[in-house]
Structure 1
Amino acid sequence: MKRYIYLLVLFCCIPVFAQQKPVQTLINTTKNKIGAEFKLTLKTNVDTVSKVVFPSPKNMGALEVIKTYPTDTILKNGRYELIQKYGLTQFDSGSYTIPSSKIRINNQLYYSDSIQVEVANVAVDTLKQKMYDIKDIATAESQKANGWKYLLAIALLAAIGCLVYWLVKKQQKKKIEHEVYKTPIEKATNLLNTLEQKALWQKGEIKNYYSELTDIARNYIEEAIEIPAMESTTAELIQGLREASQKKKMALTPEIIENLERVLKQADLVKFAKSKPLDFEITEDKNKIQRVIVTLDKALPAVVENQEDNLLNEVQRQKQIALQLQKKRKKRWAIAVASVLFLGLTTLFYFIATLGFTNVKDTLLRHPSKELLEGQWIQSTYGDPGIHIETPKVLKRIDLTKSLPKNGMALVKEMHSFAYGNISDSFYIMVSTYQYKQDSVSVDLKKSMELSIQALESQGAQNMLVKQETYDTPEGISGLKGYGTFSRINTITNSSDKLYYEILLFKQEGGLQQILLFHEEGDAYANQIADRILNSVELKKTNQ
């Protein structure tokens, strides 16, 4: 019975030892200086339908997580290898433990390995190292698109144009209203009705109410009786009205003139002494003004006119009004358009003076390279061994197996290629990594550069100018850089385009890493994009 139990335990243990560990834990170094970055890597190998959730901590033990890199996905033999990297640091020297992390695979928890790391002090010799003052805060160059500023400027100009049009229309509407009234009494009656509709004194605006009420009466007296009522004081107006009534032989009772004088004095008290009449007094004053205007109009001597002449004059007057309306409408549009054009040109000249003509032109015309430069850039790691790079757009996986020679593919164990754009576009970037089947395969960078040039020529590149030089990354990895120009036939315009290209090649871990990009020659924005891309390249340094 004991022998059966031992065999059963042995068979149960065999599958456990045969299984591959679900989570691999790697770190670039276990010793680092204060503030330097430890790169912790967690790898899982799962099938294509599995769901993997990596942790997103702010700290791992005593170490601070300064960066969580995007998850990289690599397809191998029908399975996914998911790679998650973390940037860790510590600003105190000593020995620390990176604790195990929880990784959830298909709702089941797995744990990474804990790792012991050491953080060493940085020795500073003040006798050999020159000391410098702390620099002022530098303003970072904004990479955000400025398109919203121009949209805001356009919307503001449109709003200003509408406001100018509305103000001009309102002002001219007032003038037209004054012109379409046939007689002063008709005008005064309509203005009194409009004043009541405003309900000013009901809203507490008593001063404005009395000001408009007396202005209506003064305007009527000035137009109908022809005395300077608007510029006269109350006493002068009453005296002038008495003299005009005698001259024109107007039958006015003393009560009418006294009522007008009483209301005008009440208005003076409201406007200058801040008097506040009662509600019934305000109503009585309005009625008095209305009776005064009607009485004055009836007392005016009648003017006998020919009926036919009146009809003819009315027709001519209506034609003149229609013509004036048409002219004023055109004038409103002209003023509004001129205002918008003036403000638009002023704004345009301001931006040109501030940003430069080329920058403004390229922004308004939506220059493709400028939009790429000012868009949201992406940092990611591509291939194996990985190339960490910053690009204006995400690079998508492409298949180059059909475009490479068969004898070369026979030596390749794994190949990963990612690109943005098309080989026929004016801007193109490609990142590729190759792992050879035998580690003993010697990678000749110059020969690889020749093959890369030949591949470009096979895609339509002509008259290639090739220059080469060594290229060292900030990590100290040495590679080969090829650059120059080539021409290509534009299939749309059937003309020849000239492009500038750069190729970076590195050999590591028995494999090859390649970065290729090209763009139109003379494109200043594309030059900035290329410099930023190449300056962001990070390669893992290996001991070969």
Structure 2
Amino acid sequence: MKPKTNKKLYILAFLFAAITAFGQQKQVQVSIDSTKIKIGSQANVIIKASVKGKDKVNFPQGKTFGQLEVLEAYPTDTVKDGNGIMTQLIKKYGVTQFDTGQYVIPRLPVVINNKTIQTDSLRLHVTDVKVDTLKQKMYDIKTVTRAPGQGMAWYWYIVSFVLYTAVGFGIWWFFFRKKGAAKEKDIPQLQVSPIEKATSQLKQLEKKDLLQRGEVKEYYSEMANIARQYIEEAVHIPAMESTTGELIEAMQRAAQRRKMTLRPETFEQLEQILRNADLVKFAKSRPMDFEIAEDRSRIEKTIVVIDRSIPEEKEEDDDHTQKWLEEQRLKKEKQKRRLIIWSSVGAAAVILLTAIIVWGVPYVRDNVLSEPTKQLVEGEWVKSEYGNPGVSIETPEVLVRIPESTLPQGTMALVKDMQSFSMGSIEKHFYVEVATLSFKEENDVDFATWSDGIMRTWESKGAKDILTKTESFKTDKGLEGVRIYGTLNQPLLAGQGSVDCKYEMYLFKQQKGLQQVVVIGRTGDEYATKIMDRIKKSIELRAQ
């Protein structure tokens, strides 16, 4: 009766690890000619697809299958059955690995008539080649050699200084120089009317001698801007931002609303002058000298006519003016806030870059960006006992019970109690889980079968490229178990991609129980390594 009991126990191990069973793919099959090779040797992965004569089949391509290197993809062989209806296509790949350990050949896509079928995953054990060190010549350890590039530090200090100077100058230019210049301009503007200001600017334009120097485009551009600025200040319409057509339409609406006595000829002359300026600026038109003089004369007469037609502002006109002025004020404040935000972002970026250059990425990550696992290491740890048979462990936070899974009939008969507890997640950079299982009768649990079930669970949840190594393990009090460790690629929630992780699993078995501790952290995270080491040293078991 003992073999039957052990068989049920192995089934229970898979169920306890939440393994998802998949139906066998009959149309596509995958196999490997050897599940164990020497380091650098070749194993052959064979994919067989049963298709009809006209079916189109695309086999996997690439230079790697998971962490295994594809040495060669052999030509596809074709085997037809006796009746000639079905055809079996056979594709063989030669794979290898130059590091020892347990490797997983992930599920590979085979496309048949635009339908993708995933193969089963396979395992390959790569073993080391024994070397007789007694017959090998030994050499002394070489001295430490200084890494190149140490003399370039001065260059980064110069770059940092230039960036700081540029940001400081930009802040001064936008917030202090422009603000001061605006105040200086505002003093005389408060003492003159829009028409007086425009007339004065036109006289100043003539004194610049732009036409004498052949700068016709600049001359027309300033002349048009003077007219637009006058209209914006006197009539209160957004003239500087409008096209010529939009400006004339806005002028007509404003004249009707404010009952300005303007004749159609005035609008026509204004439009003609502004369109001539547009032609000079954008179409590179070159008017004759007498045409330039006429446009200059007409623009001055036109703004004078417009100014005389503006009636004294009534209450409703004053409300409209105040509304327009308020809109302009809010617009300027919005531009100022945007400028402050971008200047702050730029300054922060320069400071962060400088800190990285001077102190390095690890220092900035730990002290500025606050690595989550660093907070776990430096926080107050909790030591507690979980499950039955009890596992005593020290963790950064208290583990929370995981809801138990319901086992099918036939397996519950073997189980007395099953409990699981966890903390964190891969999204939070670190995960810990403690699980215990007690049996009603004494059972011999096979660690290899149990760990294989857990690996398949991870694969069913999207984990890829699982590398596994196994060694014996003892707690400080001498209780023996196994340590299974390695790396994997773990998907993140909500389709946010995946991250490379390292994991450690500790398995123990007692007379009527199984105890399991799993810790997972992100690869390259030194604080995750410190957490793993501290947890490993704290593991203790309570015997039944």
Name the TM-score, length of structure 2 as normaliser: 0.34
> Between Structure 1 and Structure 2, whose CA radius of gyration is higher?
1
TM-score by length of 1: 0.34
